[in-house]
Amino acid sequence: MTQTDSKFADSDQSSCNQPSASGVLQDVHITHPSQSCFMSSIDLHTHFSYQAMVPEAFAIVMAPTDQSRSYGIFRLSDPGGMSVLKECEESGFHPHGEPADGSPIYEHCANVFTNTNLRFEIFDLR
Ligand SMILES: [Zn+2]
């Protein structure tokens, strides 16, 4: 992870989405304090706006009680997932159809390199 100024603000549906000093747009949030690690429909819509502005943007979902995966780094598939979200006019929690190209709506972000030597700070503003 390259960001150094991420902030965790609160539990359910909390997020801090802001461009960092390095210009990296980030979407770090704890949406699932007691749930599994996945992108909800609200997460997808939130991240869509960031990925539409910066195609390299990714979302980090923290799910500390998920025994199989406590965090995930995700992005919308492009063009599949991006097209679904662009056309969707619903709000709140709702299901999405599959992208026309057969891809998943979102995927694990394989192009993020985690460097454990980089400084990473988390500010809990609760
Ligand atoms: Zn939707």
From CA 74, how far away is CA 63, in angstroms rounded?
A: 13
Q: Compute the distance from residue 83 Cα to the ligand 1 centre, in Å.
A: 11
Identify any residues that bridge with 72 across adjacent strands, giving them in sequence order.
Answer: 61
Q: Compute the distance from residue 93 Cα to the ligand 1 centre, in Å.
A: 8
Q: Compute the distance from residue 89 Cα to the ligand 1 centre, in Å.
A: 6
31-68 pLDDT tens trace: 667 788 999 999 999 999 999 998 888 888 888 888 99
Taking domain 7-94+102-113, whether its CATH number is 3.10.180.10 is answered by no
Q: Which one, of 64, 67, 77, lies nearest residue 108 by Cα?
A: 77
Give the pLDDT score at 63. Answer: 86
Tally of CB atoms within 10 A around 73: 16
Give the pLDDT score at 16. Answer: 43
Which is more confidently placed, 82 or 114? 82
Q: Which one, of 110, 7, 122, lies nearest residue 58 by Cα?
A: 110
Domain ranges of the chain: 7-94+102-113
